[in-house]
């Protein structure tokens, strides 16, 4: 149980375009989902916290107008990278917090974004 | 800002030996700690966790030790196997914030 999926697993887009990444909890409901970014050989950095039905809370330094987060249901959160640039190329990982568990986050497999 | 850090960025261990990965944290308000394993191109995989009211917890081949006095966390892996080769991250949950802060990671390599 407690499986989180992401789609797509990898995507290549041209500079200036937008790309949407989906995060789904497959067998549980998640009141809270998190989005992380990981650059090569670095750690995971939290970008934002997404709560179902409300606006996401962004970490300091993360542009909310560039990284649009929508958490429309208890099983789906989306991250849209708008007007992508090469420096946005990274590994984006989501995690989900089951409603019945206040601590353990379940992580998705990640999405590799390459902006050319 | 506050962060969780690691003493050793890389660690090589002979197959069958035990390994110890260390982590220092700085937030005294953290109430929950987790170790994750990440293989190349994949998301983090939960290994073991420990709450701040404990100082030791054991799993299958893994043990986590928490020393709140010096804000230190360690992961011990017994009888290492080639499949243990990965990057290991510690993470702390900031009490009340319900979010994780990750350490910098240690790459563990198991030599045959």
Q: Which tens digits make up the pLDDT trace of A9-33?
A: 999 999 999 999 999 999 999 989 9
Tell me how far apart the alpha carbons of residues B52 and B32 are, in angstroms, rounded to a whole number.
Answer: 6
Q: What residues have CB less than 8 Å from A61, skipping those under 6 apart?
A: none
Outline where DSSP puts E strands in A4-110: 4-7, 10-13, 19-25, 30-38, 45-51, 57-58, 67-73, 76-81, 90-98, 106-107
Interface probe, candidates A4, A6, A44, chain B, greatest B C-beta count within 10 A? A44
Any idea which residue has 């510690």 for tokens? B90
Query: Is the model's pLDDT at A72 over the cut of 90?
Result: no
Q: B53-87 pLDDT, tens per residue?
A: 999 999 999 999 999 999 999 999 999 999 999 99
Query: Is the model's pLDDT at B98 over the cut of 60?
Result: yes
Tell me how far apart the alpha carbons of residues B15 and B35 are, in angstroms, rounded to a whole number.
Answer: 21
Model pLDDT, residue B97: 75
pLDDT band at A100 (very low <50, low <70, confident <90, very high): low
Query: Chain B closest CA to A57's CA: distance in Å?
Result: 11
Q: What is the mean pLDDT of residues A80-98?
A: 96
Q: What is the mean pLDDT of residues A23-51?
A: 93
Query: Is the model's pLDDT at B94 over the cut of 90?
Result: no
Cβ contact A103–B49 (<8 Å): yes
Q: What is the mean pLDDT of residues B97-105?
A: 88
Model pLDDT, residue B26: 81
Number of A–B residue contacts, CB under 8 Å: 47
Model pLDDT, residue B4: 55
Query: Is the model's pLDDT at A94 over the cut of 50?
Result: yes
- The chain A residue lying nearest B103, using CA atoms, is A43
Query: Chain B closest CA to A49's CA: distance in Å?
Result: 8
Which of the 8 DSSP states describes residue A66? T
Tell me how far apart the alpha carbons of residues A76 and A72 are, in angstroms, rounded to a whole number.
Answer: 7
Model pLDDT, residue A10: 97
Range in A14-28, A97-111, B52-66, B88-102 with the lowest mean pLDDT: A97-111
User: Are A19 and A80 a contacting pair, CB within 8 Å?
Assistant: yes
CA angle B74, B78, B80 (to 5 degrees): 110
Q: Give A-chain residues touching B93 at CB under 8 angstroms.
A: 103
Of B44, B93, B105, the CB nearest to A107: B44
Query: Is the model's pLDDT at B109 over the cut of 60?
Result: yes
Q: What is the mean pLDDT of residues A89-97?
A: 96
C-alpha R_g of chain B:
13
Q: Three-class SS of residue B63?
A: strand
Which helix H or strand E contains B38, and what residues bound it?
strand B30-38
- The chain A residue lying nearest B48, using CA atoms, is A104
- The chain A residue lying nearest B46, using CA atoms, is A106
Query: Is the model's pLDDT at B7 over the cut of 60?
Result: no
Query: Is the model's pLDDT at B1 over the cut of 90?
Result: no
Model pLDDT, residue B6: 42
Model pLDDT, residue A75: 94
Tell me how far apart the alpha carbons of residues B50 and A69 are, in angstroms, rounded to a whole number.
Answer: 31
DSSP sequence for B72-88:
EEEEEE-S--GGG-EEE
Q: Give B-chain residues touching A61 at CB under 8 angstroms.
A: none
pLDDT band at A104 (very low <50, low <70, confident <90, very high): confident
Chain B: which residues have CB within 8 Å of chain A? 1, 32, 34, 36, 41-46, 49, 89, 93, 98-105
């Amino acid at each position: 149980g407690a499986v989180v999926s992401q789609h797509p697993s990898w995507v290549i887009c041209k500079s200036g375009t937008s790309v949407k990444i989906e995060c789904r909890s497959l067998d549980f409901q998640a009141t809270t989902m998190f989005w992380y970014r990981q650059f090569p050989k670095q750690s995971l950095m939290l970008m934002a916290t997404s709560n179902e039905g409300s606006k996401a809370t962004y970490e300091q330094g993360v542009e909310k107008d560039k990284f649009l987060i929508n958490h429309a249901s208890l099983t789906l959160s989306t991250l849209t990278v708008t007007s992508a640039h090469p420096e946005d190329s990274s590994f984006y990982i989501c995690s989900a917090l089951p409603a019945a568990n206040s601590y353990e986050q379940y992580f998705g497999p990640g999405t590799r974004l390459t902006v050319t | 800002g506050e962060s969780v850090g690691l003493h050793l960025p890389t660690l090589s261990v002979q197959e069958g030996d035990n390994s110890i990965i260390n982590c220092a944290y700085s937030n005294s308000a953290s109430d929950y700690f987790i170790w994750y394993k990440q293989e190349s191109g994949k998301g983090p995989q939960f290994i073991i966790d420990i709450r701040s009211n404990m100082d030791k917890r054991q799993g299958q081949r893994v043990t986590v030790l928490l020393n709140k006095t010096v804000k230190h966390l360690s992961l011990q892996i017994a009888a290492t196997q080639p499949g243990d080769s990965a990057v290991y991250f510690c993470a702390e949950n900031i009490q009340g914030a319900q979010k994780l802060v990750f350490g910098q990671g240690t790459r563990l390599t198991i030599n045959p």
